[in-house]
Amino acid sequence: MRKSFLSTIALAGAAALALTACSTDSDGGDATADPADGGDAPASDELITVGFAQTGAESGWRSANTESMQTAFSEENGYELVFNAADNDPAAQIAAVRNFINQGVDAIIIAPVVEDGWDDVLQEAADAGIPVILEDRTVSASEDLYASWVGLDFYQEGVMAGEWAAEQYGDTETQMVVLEGTTGSAPANDRAEGFNEAIAGTMIETLDSQTGDFTRDGGKSVMEGYIANYGLDGIDLVYAHNDDMGLGAIEAIEAAGGVPGEDIKIITIDAVADGMQALVDGKINYIVECNPLLGDLVSQVVKDVLAGNEVEKEYYVEDQTFTQEEAAEVIDSRLY
């Protein structure tokens, strides 16, 4: 598959989201592979009707992503957005997509809760002549059933987190527990695979790995169980698939009398505001970014697809990484 990589700073129109979500250090550079001329509103007064099937509202990242999409797909930009959040229920999300098809929308955007189970409904959309664009997460269905995908390289995020862990802790016996994302989701699968490959051959041992469903409460609950099973002294490192679960782990560690970031080191992925503040405060030790500002780029892809223009099958947005010092330098300029 062809891959187009775009820098975080190059998401078209990101400045327009200044009050709703954030970019990192921006030099105003151009994207390396933007879809052609997709950012302008349609020439006619007729709105483009788009159905957007979001996973839910499980995290700070998801909220920023939703707001980015709603801003990009506004009436002012030439759209009528039909929005549905599935509360992380795959069946409910598929039902929402079928409803979009029955409504006869012009295009459908899906941030899939899980990777599997999409073949039938995507075929129904294709049969109805409605193009589908995937956003954030991927599916295991045939590529012929969707027009394009816009998102992040979850595998590489896991690799970056694992490489830092290997460099910092790989030469000493390190007992690690993992807070997984939603079971069966692309980010959970890929972040686990990338991290595990990066720490292969090190002295980091995985004691346990359970899902916290990308939620703060889930991360706290699972971490409480880990502490009950292994004790504060039996855990050296936490790898959380997102910031919210890492923040929940912090609450559990503190409630048990431990010092997060010192007694137990924590690595997370997302770089949302609360996570970055915890990193600055020393309660998290390292964060790999996952940029939620995908709305403007997805809008460009939708308009190009509807216009019959050629688009790439995949558009990746590059992520950054942050230590405590690096987070302190940029936290005041970030908007998510």
Taking the domain 4-152+291-318, which CATH number applies? 3.40.50.2300
Token representation of residue 186: 């692309």
Mean pLDDT along residues 256-274: 98
Is the Cβ–Cβ distance between 121 and 135 less than 8 Å?
no
3-state secondary structure (DSSP) of residue 129: coil
What is the pLDDT at residue 197? 98
DSSP state of 163: H
Kindly report the CA angle at 214 between 287 and 302, in degrees rounded to 5? Answer: 90
Nearest by Cα to 167 from 205, 202, 208: 202
What is the pLDDT at residue 11? 40
Q: Could you read off the pLDDT of 290-299 as tens digits, one per residue?
A: 999 999 999 9
pLDDT-derived band at 9, boundaries 50, 70, 90 = very low
The identity of residue 123, as a single letter, is Q
> Within 10 Å of residue 71's Cβ, how many Cβ atoms?
20
In CATH terms, is domain 154-289 a member of 3.40.50.1100? no
This prediction has a pTM of: 0.81
| CATH 3.40.50.2300 in the chain, residue ranges | 4-152+291-318, 154-289
Computed from CA positions of residues 7, 11, 12, 15, in that sequence, does the dihedral angle turn out positive or negative? negative
Nearest by Cα to 154 from 269, 68, 268: 269
What is the pLDDT at residue 317? 85
Look up tokens 């997509």; give the residue: 97
Distance between CA atoms of residues 235 and 248, nearest Å:
16
Mean pLDDT along residues 309-321: 93
Q: Could you read off the pLDDT of 221-257 as tens digits, one per residue?
A: 999 999 999 999 999 999 999 999 999 999 999 999 9
Distance between CA atoms of residues 260 and 252, nearest Å:
9
Distance between CA atoms of residues 163 and 287, nearest Å:
12
What is the pLDDT at residue 255? 98
